[in-house]
Amino acid sequence: MTATIFCRASIAMGVSATYLGFDDTDSPQGMCTTFLATLILDELRGFDLVGLPRLVRLNPNVPWKTRGNAAVCLPLGRGVGAGRICGAIDGRPVMSYVRGSSVDPEELLPLAAKVLERVAEFDCDKTNPGMVATNKKPSQRLYWRAVRDVVPLSEVERELRVVGASWKRYKNGRGIIGAASAISWRPHDRTWEVMSYRTPDRIGTERAVDKGSVIKMDRKMKSTFHNYDSESKHIAITPASPCPVLFGIRGDSADELMQARKMIRGEPPLSWLLFLTNQGTDDHIVRRRVRDLEPGMSVRVQATVAVSPRSVEGGHVIVTVSDGEAIDVAFYEPSGVMNRAARRLISGDRIVVYGSVRDSPRSLNAEKLHVLHLAVAHRKEANPLCVICEKRMGSLGAGQGYRCKRCGARAPASAAEISEVSREIRTGWYEPPVASRRHLHRPIRRMSRDNINNLL
Ligand SMILES: [Zn+2]
């Protein structure tokens, strides 16, 4: 029930709100752009959330990203009707309204910018904050380009002028790109993440999150994902950086996330907030032929294994595939079960590889593997029998055929006695363990939804 309402509230057309987007306020040492969302909601109490806060991940391959390349959009305005709780800050509930009216972006922007200016990590070279307020969303083309490609700042500012947006840029202004792109996102596929934040005195210290409670939650809450890495026994809901986030749980049901949050035992959080997100959607992936690959792209390539896998130092596996043109695909050792599957591929297998394109040497870093069809594997059991002497013939060398030592009769290479070997791999999906996945990676447990999305 909750899921449906949150979903409609955020996706329905005609919801009137003022969109506040911001990006690039964090550094590897601290802050988190989603935490800034809670600070803004806490301080700008004259505004309501009309819909849910949105956490939008953008192109994971851009070279200048600070951490996860996440931007936030808050739909703000004056709420109408009964709200629903979508968070709490220091004990005070945060409400989200299905309907509402917009406000003046010129009034909203300076108030929100003041909060950003107080907390953004301006000292970090890579941190270039940006904030946008607008009553009209930029074209969703902007989102698709920002999640798959690189968008020049000048182009974003042109788009913002078209919709009459107000914005504030800091340092090199690059944060505007993410801020505007987050606003322009229209969720065709979407998930949710409930984020929990630490009290100020604990930030930077080790997070006290009970592993047993995470495992229990992971087992019970079937629509959640990326919680726990059973291969490495690693909790994936807590970040590795010293940022204010205590944990974030991702899933396909807002309703279940509200319960999942309460199942986690550990230090008491300061606040929590539910986000609508593009995480786990594969929105960054484009279908491409090998000949059309460009460095920095995240792609889906369907091809045939051309050369049997070879191991390289570090436990990595390289597989040469071809769809008319060949490319090497690297399956790195940390990709675990996917790496082990790749080792068992043979020439002739048909596969789909998801991954990012590396420039030099031109190759594909595999992020997900779909084995479509397995070739029949053969093993030579014996040399052929001479039809005259009924004795085994001798080999003339690899691929050269056979000759009888007694009478000199010849036989082709294909005359050898062969048997079919069973394959130690099945068709289906393979993905790296939770800890080695990107935020946008659509987990296999969500892949069956492909059919649903295709029907809609
Ligand atoms: Zn013979």
pLDDT at 68: 63
Clarify whether residues 273 and 290 are in a common domain. no
pLDDT at 66: 56
pLDDT at 122: 73
450 lies in a domain?
no
Clarify whether residues 408 and 362 are in a common domain. no
Residues in the chain with pLDDT values less than 70: 1-15, 64-68, 448-456
- pLDDT tens for residues 418-453? 999 999 999 999 999 988 888 999 999 888 654 333
Clarify whether residues 370 and 385 are in a common domain. no
Ligand 1 center–CA 402 separation, angstroms: 11
Given 264, 280, 296, the domain boundary residue is: 280
Q: Please state the pTM of the whole predicted model.
A: 0.87
Ligand 1 center–CA 381 separation, angstroms: 19
Q: Are 54 and 276 in contact (CB under 8 A)?
A: yes
29 lies in a domain?
yes
Clarify whether residues 197 and 234 are in a common domain. yes
Clarify whether residues 46 and 83 are in a common domain. yes
pLDDT at 455: 31
Ligand 1 center–CA 409 separation, angstroms: 6
Clarify whether residues 25 and 113 are in a common domain. yes
Ligand 1 center–CA 378 separation, angstroms: 26
429 lies in a domain?
yes
Gap between the Cα atoms of 97 and 76, Å rounded: 10
pLDDT at 247: 97
- What is the domain extent for residue 409? 377-421
pLDDT at 399: 84
Ligand 1 center–CA 379 separation, angstroms: 24
Clarify whether residues 112 and 222 are in a common domain. yes
pLDDT at 65: 59
Ligand 1 center–CA 403 separation, angstroms: 8
Clarify whether residues 56 and 188 are in a common domain. yes
The backbone region for 239, taken as left when phi is positive above 0, alpha when psi lies in -120 to 50, beta otherwise, is: beta
4 lies in a domain?
yes
pLDDT at 12: 44
pLDDT at 126: 78
Ligand 1 center–CA 410 separation, angstroms: 8
52 lies in a domain?
yes
Clarify whether residues 401 and 431 are in a common domain. no
Ligand 1 center–CA 417 separation, angstroms: 17
Domain count, the chain: 3
226 lies in a domain?
yes
| C-alpha gyration radius of the chain | 27
